[in-house]
Amino acid sequence: MGLTFDEAMRIVRWQGAFHARHWRGLSDSPPPSAFENLWARGGYWTLEKRVDDVPRIVSEWNKLVTAFPEDPTLIEHRDVGARLAAAAPAISRAANRRGAQARSVTTLVPIRPRSRGERRSLRTFPGVSLCPPIAFNPDTPRRLSTPLLTPSTPPRRSLVWTLDPQTLVHGDLKAANVIFPIHAVDASDPAAEGDPDPDPVVIDWQWVGPGAVAHDLLYFLATSLSMDALTRVDELVEAYHAELTRRLRARGHHAAADAFTATDLREDLDVHAADYLRRVLASITLVPIRPRRRGERRSLRTFSHGVCFSPPRVPRVQSRRTHLDAFQLRF
């Protein structure tokens, strides 16, 4: 069903206030040390946490195109999976360019095996060095043996995040993680006591960390709205930006508010939409199923004899339905 427009409006305003409170680089914002025990980059679907998404994008998209060979939209965009997989690292970097700015650096580091008795630092080939200072620190985590560089064992790809992000993000901000207090009072009653419009309560903070404001906002808009609210997304985006900048100006940070324009926000939302699409496509599983015969148990029958998602063998009431759809999309 999704949230109504009024419910969504309350949450985007909460987001604006939360992000403004933790805006990086301001004198009265929490210091960077406050983020040390959090994720280096907030969010559960960021690329460094979902590296297995990239190879799955192509295979899952091709399965979808093959399953619906007569769909003109899929035929026209049959290469979307390959294009998105190839662009995934660049999209992820672009999604974190805001702030002063956030950057991701991908470095190929060729490493040779460590000789017996050699100092246990990171030894690279000539011209490339990631060695620690001469003063060896025994508390520094030590590296174990490294395989030879061969065609079957390519140089390791290390994803190093150099973050100077905008703010602190929740990382999993969706309707299921929001509670609306029920102690609101009737604003039309002058004798009523209490807050007529209390702030929503946000829970599930396990993915919190530094990041771009569009990460939280895009994910919320993409996953939590009713159909009616989706037709008014522009109003929600405008309300978020207005609340964010209002909160910053109220603390005297006019330059920070002026620096992040509504155009900047919309551009960031577009980039994060592409980044989230990578996660969505990698999460789709297409399960072919055959029609259920009359009187057959209501389990999920797949075409492959080796795959069956049957529930426990318990008595069930038979349904008058005699068939299932040819395919089912599971997210």
Write the DSSP string, 78-92.
Answer: TTHHHHHHHHHHHHH
Instruction: Report pTM.
Output: 0.66
Distances (CA, A) of 290 to 40, 287, 303, 324: 46, 10, 6, 7
Domains within the chain, CATH numbers bracketed: 5-102+163-283 (3.90.1200), 104-128+147-160 (no CATH), 286-331 (no CATH)
**What is the H or E stretch that residue 159 is in?**
strand 156-162
- Report pLDDT digits (tens) over 275-293: 999 999 888 776 666 666 6
Q: Which residues does 164 contact at the CB level (< 8 Å), separation at least 6?
A: 24, 99, 100, 101, 102, 103
- Report pLDDT digits (tens) over 92-133: 988 877 633 333 333 444 555 666 665 554 444 444 444 444
Q: 190-204 burial by CB neighbour count: b if 16+ within 10 A, else e?
A: eeeeeeeeeebebee
> Does residue 306 register a pLDDT over 80?
no
- Report pLDDT digits (tens) over 219-248: 999 999 999 999 999 999 999 999 999 999
